[in-house]
Amino acid sequence: MELEKRVKDIEDRNKRVELDKSWETSWTRRICIMLLTYIIVVIYQLLIREYDNILLTSLVPVIGFTLSTLSLKLVRKFWEKKKK
């Protein structure tokens, strides 16, 4: 009985870990972060009264974030190969 419970606990944990990993790499998460970043930068620029091309200049941090998430996959793969 104890062994069955332990196996069930491990299986439940594995499902949670798989779901967490799936969320971390999902485009839904990235798009949400991109939108929130964009909104925050626009609000910041309004607060500091920087009105020149506010919508365009607010894209810079969003694009930077997106590129960093894409490039980090490559860095991670390289790191994992070196780690093995």
Mind listing the pLDDT tens digit of every residue in the chain (84 residues)? 798 999 999 999 999 999 888 888 888 888 888 888 889 888 888 888 877 888 888 888 888 888 877 777 777 788 788 877
Tell me the pTM. Answer: 0.63
Determine whether 30 is exposed, middle or buried from the number of CB atoms within 10 Å of its CB (0-12, 13-18, 19+): middle
Say how far apart CA 15 and CA 55 lie, in whole Å: 41
Say how far apart CA 23 and CA 67 lie, in whole Å: 18
* pLDDT reported for residue 12: 93
* pLDDT reported for residue 13: 95
Say how far apart CA 50 and CA 45 lie, in whole Å: 5
